[in-house]
Chains A and B, each alone.
Chain A
Amino acid sequence: MTQPVLQISGLKVAFQIGRQEVEAVRDVDLEIAAGQTVALVGESGSGKTTTASTVNRLLPENGRITAGRILIDGRDIAHLPESEMIRLRGAGIGLVPQDPMSNLNPLLRIGQQIGEALEVHGLSHGQATKDRVIELLEMVGIPDPARRARQYPHEFSGGMRQRALIAMGLACRPRLLIADEPTSALDVTVQRRILDQLGQLTAELGTAVLLITHDLPLAAERADRIVVMHQGRVVEQGPSQDILRHPQHEYTKQLLAAAPSLSSQRLRPAVVTSVVASDTADLRAADRSDDQAQPAAPLVEVDHLTKIYPLRLAQAGQPSTFTAVDAVSFTIPRGQTVSLVGESGSGKSTTANMVLGLEEISSGAVRFAGLDLASAKRDQLFAMRRRVQPVFQDPFASLDPRYSVAQSIAEPLRVHKVLDPAQRRRRVAELLDDVALPVSFADRLPHELSGGQRQRVAIARALALEPDLVVLDEPVSALDVLVQAQILELLADLQSRLSLSYLFISHDLAVVRLVSDQVHVMRRGQIVESGTPDELFAAPQHPYTQELLAAIPGAQLI
């Protein structure tokens, strides 16, 4: 049989917003054969998730299919009544959702939740369900499945939960599995193991997989075919290798160019020579050359920095403290970017918070231009804060929703009583210009901006006081790949113009390679390897660094 498992043709979806009907997906065509994996790639808002949710007919209430057919094994389900869809979901179409944290019921045992899918569809009951659940858990690579099935979600790590969700998605041996960003909430090394497992299982079972992802290299590595979506349309589709090597559409080319990979070079803006933006910048430049005349003392010295948290619920015989950061030492030279790379829980953000003075230091020292933060007096600390500014990860949380763009940017000026209101207004305009936003944005509120624009505002705010050091805690990880590339370029450009130092925190080695002069790989609170990006990426010494590098999707493809 050559009939495809899923065949979508001429699909159109519209959302009712207020009195208007907005088309979110237009003329989508795609096919998946049994055992094949097709990746739907696009940025947020491209319509990829909407397309996927028409397949199991879980569109939001205000959405409806306005045209087109969705054939599952030759049967059109586009207008099937809900009662029949219920039978199809789970049994015919499995789903692996994005967020492993919120998709499991915290009050039910893992085994019960997987068994539920089986029993709802009448595929088994009683002891047979229990046996099958254990079999499924074993299949997705959960060790000691009999014991694990009796545990609750909070006893599982993020990766284990995602495995459990995969087991749930595959429980009824569906013909089609929809995997909606199945690993984007996970660390790269975990991501790799899970995708390996998923690929192996679906190949064995002959399941057709619709993989939804924003990550083009990952799609290329995992899928047979790639469908690229942009603004609700399919702009290009074909075999993965073709898309990767000979992209036809302009948008696909942009996506490929923007995706940072290990072969990317350090971003250096073309104009490195002094660009004099204002008198102050001029002064700063002069200042800087004085500093450089004396053989450079580093701007920041981090010396055996340690953070120990007391554990509240420690049981007898177990350690009552947790060392989040363990004797970490590094320096940040002026005008350079030093990166801390690691997976979640490696202590990189805690280190950044201590450098920012947001977290108390347990032992060791952070010296900023010679000033020891731990023993600094209040006014010294206040003065230091002028020179160190943060940019955080989540563009939706980093601006007060009730502050206008101008109020947010001017806030540090107000706190440090710099400039009068009229001058602050001018400074805001100058800063907006620096981050390439139109001055008309000054009166807007955060909810009127996109994620990338908000991040630019957050950067402008960090630059308001003309700091020496900007601590960038995952500044681009929440952004789409094209926006990410723009922000990274902006950061590199600002660095050379304003001779800033960056402490750059990231889990993404490819991004780190683009921006860093010095990289420190962190694991379990310790620095396991340090070096320049070239050294580190060409010849990683520590096994953990090697594992991290190998886990980057598309590493072997490009």
Chain B
Amino acid sequence: MSVVEATPAATSSNGRSGRAAFRMLLRSPAGLVGLILVGLIALLCLASALHLLPYDPLLQEASQRMRPPSSEHWFGTDRFGRDVFARVAAGVANSARIALVAVAFSTLAGTIGGIVSGYLRGASDAAISGVTNVLFAFPPLLLALTLASVFARTWFTIAVAIAVVYTPIFIRVTRGPVLTLREIDFVRSARATGQSPAAIMARHILPNIASIIIVQVTLSLSWAVLTEASLSFLGLGTPPPAPSLGSMVYEARTLVALAPWTMIFPGLIMVVLVVGLNLLGDGVRDALDPQSRGKR
């Protein structure tokens, strides 16, 4: 991520360095648990993406319909005889891909927007803040529906819809600290030295708000996963037959009495991922906050 690379002091031997923050993260219980949960899910996604799992998520086996969990089908099978474990893995990989792309886009656009509007003020601030307010008013479902009806409904349009909804949050989160930073003495002396606004934003402003952005990224990822799942649940997300956690839960709805595993496992994985990301977000925030660091 560009945010992390732009931190000039991150490599030097000091209390704020990336490595020290990472050690802090491992030492906090929340951070460690979050890291493990997210790591496990990441492995699952990877295995699915590389076709390392024994079953194809789309393969229907009429003889294996609605089988309960067993040594053969760990999470059982659904009503078309598809392996639930393979579908859950593929579904979470799909959710993760959408969430990552959406959050990457909103981080980039939101951070640039927030820094520019906070630092330059004036007309650009009015324009960016105006657009932000308009975007805040859009429910993600409505936006996704609009985008899906205008463009082909693919995972990418879903990602774009989520990104558009999340960008204003990044603008809001960065703009405030930038307003404070622009008046601080080291920024004023950079201006007095003749440094251009773009250089000041890149060299002084961005590195000093990087920790805020990193925390926001982890939290936004978990929200984005949930947003994608709810879009899919409502049939506005990833088009079938591609598996998605939200649509799996929707399909399992009518079968829940007969085959509860078809609903439990996708739901469970979603909970694990969201809780993991939230814990990771908490841990990262504590690790990057110098005040909480002093207490340990």
- Residues in chain A within 8 A of chain B (CB atoms): 356-358, 381-382, 385-386, 388-394, 397-404, 407-408, 411-412, 415-416, 443, 445, 447-448, 458, 461-462, 465, 471
- Which of B9, B189, B191, B208 is the most central at the interface, judged by chain A CB atoms within 10 Å of its CB? B189
Bound Cα distance A385, B194 (Å): 6
B193 lies within 8 A of A411 (CB)? yes
- Chain B nearest CB from A345 CB (Å) reads 17
Evaluate contact between A400 and B208: CB separation under 8 angstroms: yes
Roughly how many angstroms separate A394 CA and B185 CA in the complex, as a whole number? 7
Size of interface on B: residues with Cβ below 8 Å to A:
22
Assess whether A358 is in contact with B188, with CB atoms less than 8 Å apart: yes
Which of B184, B190, B193 has its CB near the most chain A CB atoms (within 10 A)? Answer: B193
B123 to chain A, nearest CB (A): 15
Say whether A403 contacts B8, CB under 8 Å: yes
CB within 8 Å of A: which residues of B? 7-9, 12, 14-16, 184-186, 188-195, 199, 204, 207-208
Q: In the complex the two chains form, what is the Cα distance from A411 to B192 in whole Å?
A: 12
**A398-B191 in contact given A403-B8, A407-B8, A445-B9 (Cβ < 8 Å):** no
Q: Is the CB of B8 within 8 A of A397?
A: no
B residues in contact with A381, CB < 8 Å: 194
CA distance A473 to B139 in the complex (A): 50
Q: Do the beta carbons of B192 and A390 come within 8 Å of each other?
A: yes
Q: Of A358, A407, A461, which one neighbours B191 at CB under 8 angstroms?
A: A358
* Nearest CB in chain A: distance from B224 CB, A: 29
* CB-contact partner of A397 in B9, B186, B195, under 8 A: B186
Cross-chain contact A389 with B7 (CB below 8 angstroms): no
In the complex, the answer to whether B192 meets A357 with C-beta atoms within 8 Å is: yes
B13 CB to nearest chain A CB (Å) = 8
B23 to chain A, nearest CB (A): 15
**A388 CB → nearest B CB, Å:** 7
Q: Report chain B residues within 8 Å CB of A400.
A: 186, 204, 207-208
Given contacts A402-B207, A402-B208, contact A445 B195 (CB under 8 A): no
Can you report 29 A-B residue pairs in the complex whose CB atoms are below 8 A from each other?
A: A357-B192, A358-B188, A358-B192, A388-B192, A389-B193, A390-B189, A390-B192, A392-B185, A393-B185, A394-B185, A397-B185, A399-B186, A400-B186, A400-B204, A401-B16, A402-B9, A402-B16, A402-B207, A403-B8, A407-B8, A411-B190, A411-B195, A415-B194, A415-B195, A443-B12, A445-B9, A445-B16, A447-B14, A465-B193
Residues from chain A with Cβ under 8 Å of B15 in the complex: 447
Chain A's closest residue to B205 (CB) is A400
CA distance A445 to B14 in the complex (A): 8
Q: Which residues of A contact B188 (CB under 8 A)?
A: 358, 390, 392
Within the complex, what minimum Cβ distance (angstroms) separates A473 from chain B? 9
B9, A385: Cβ atoms under 8 Å? no
Name the B residues within 8 Å of A445 (CB-CB): 9, 12, 14, 16
A445-B9, A447-B15 as given contacts; A398 in contact with B192, CB under 8 Å: no
* Shortest beta-carbon distance from B140 to chain A in Å: 35
3 closest A-B pairs by beta carbon, nearest first, are A385-B194, A392-B185, A398-B185
Q: Contacts A415-B195, A445-B12 given; indicate if A398 touches B189 (C-beta within 8 A).
A: yes
Point out the residues of chain B lying under 8 angstroms from A415, CB to CB: 190, 193-195, 199
> A392's contact among B14, B16, B189, B207, by CB below 8 Å, is which?
B189
Closest CB of chain B to A466's CB: distance in Å?
Answer: 13
Instruction: Give A401 to B8 CA distance when docked, in angstroms.
Output: 11
* A403 adjacent to B185 (CB under 8 Å): no
- Beyond the given A415-B190, A447-B14, A461-B189, could you list 4 further A-B residue pairs with CB under 8 A, ordered by the A residue number? A358-B188, A443-B12, A448-B14, A465-B193
Q: How far is the CA of A408 from the CA of B189 in the complex (A)?
A: 10
Partner of B194, one of A416, A448, A471: A416
In the assembled complex, the CB of B65 is this many whole angstroms from the nearest CB of chain A, namely: 59
On chain A, the residues within 8 Å of B185 by CB distance are 392-394, 397-398
For the complex formed, measure the closest distance between the CB of A257 and the CB atoms of chain B, giving whole angstroms: 30
Complex interface: chain B residues within 8 A of A386 (CB):
194
Measured CA separation A27–B117 after assembly (Å): 55
Cα(A127)–Cα(B159), bound, Å: 63
Taking the closest CB of chain B, its distance from the CB of A202, in whole angstroms, is 37
Tell me the nearest residue of chain B to A465, going by C-beta: B193
Nearest CB of chain A from residue B217's CB, rounded to whole Å? 19
Residues of B within 8 A of A382 (CB): 194
Give the nearest-CB partner of A381 in chain B: B194
Q: How far is the CA of A445 from the CA of B7 in the complex (A)?
A: 14
**Which B residues are in CB contact (< 8 Å) with A416?**
193-194
Contacts of A448 in B (CB 8 A): 14
Among A407, A445, A448, the one with the most B-chain Cβ atoms within 10 Å of its Cβ is A445
B190 contacts across to A, CB distance below 8 A: 411, 415
Bound complex: CA A385 to CA B191 (Å) = 9
Cα–Cα distance between A397 and B189 once the two chains are bound (Å): 10
Chain B residues with Cβ below 8 Å from A393 are 185
Q: How far is the CA of A391 from the CA of B186 in the complex (A)?
A: 10
Residue among B186, B204, B207 facing the most chain A CB atoms (10 A cut-off): B186
Q: What B residues does A408 contact at CB under 8 A?
A: 186
Q: How far is the CA of A402 from the CA of B21 in the complex (A)?
A: 14
CA distance A385 to B193 in the complex (A): 6
B9 near A458 with CB under 8 A, answer: no
The residue on B at minimum CB distance from A407 is: B8
Residues from chain B with a CB closer than 8 A to the CB of A462 are 189
* Nearest CB of chain B from residue A361's CB, rounded to whole Å: 15
> Could you say which residues of chain A place their CB within 8 Å of the CB of B186?
397-400, 403, 408
A390, B199: Cα distance in complex, Å:
19
Q: In the bound complex, how far is the Cα of B190 from the Cα of A461, in angstroms?
A: 10
> Which B residues are in CB contact (< 8 Å) with A407?
8
Among B9, B16, B199: residue with most chain A CB under 10 A: B9
Q: How many Å from the CB of B173 to the closest CB on chain A?
A: 19
- For A447, what are the chain B residues with a Cβ–Cβ distance below 8 Å? 14-16
